[in-house]
């Protein structure tokens, strides 16, 4: 909203508010001494407390890596090495396959013969 579009009553009210703000500001200055003292206190409150330096983080990371290295070394020493198992591939000869097929055909022929008798 532009100041040009305000009515005279609104302008008077805005001027009164600005005067009140100025008087309150001067009272605050009288209490605290000056505005320059209030600003650093606010800056101190806004400052982030704690935190860790990059050097501190690096020390912690190095110590953790050392701990894990010790754990991994202990595991490597105690765990037996797994022997490689050769995969056995069994192949059936054509003659063996023919014998199995003939036996299966004979069994099914017997089952059908008994079923036909009943």
Q: Tell me the per-residue pLDDT of 82-117, one tens digit each, with 9 for 90 and over.
A: 777 788 888 899 999 999 999 999 999 999 999 999
Which residue has better confidence, 62 or 7? 62
* Residue 39, domain extent: 1-46
Residue 117 within a domain: no
Residue 51 within a domain: no
Is pTM beyond 0.75 here?
no
Residue 99 within a domain: no
Report how far residue 94's alpha carbon sits from residue 109's, in angstroms, rounded to the nearest whole number: 22
Domain count, the chain: 1
């Amino acid at each position: 909203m532009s100041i040009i579009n305000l009515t005279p009553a609104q302008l008077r009210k805005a001027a009164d508010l600005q005067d009140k703000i100025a008087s309150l500001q001067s009272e605050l200055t009288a209490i605290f001494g000056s505005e320059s003292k209030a600003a650093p206190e606010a800056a101190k409150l806004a400052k982030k407390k704690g935190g860790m330096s990059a050097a501190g983080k690096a020390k912690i990371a190095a110590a953790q890596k050392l701990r894990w290295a010790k754990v991994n070394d202990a595991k490597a020493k105690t765990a037996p090495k797994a022997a490689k198992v050769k995969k056995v591939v069994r192949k059936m000869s054509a003659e063996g396959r023919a014998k199995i097929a003939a036996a299966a055909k004979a069994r099914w022929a017997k089952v059908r013969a008994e079923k036909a008798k009943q």
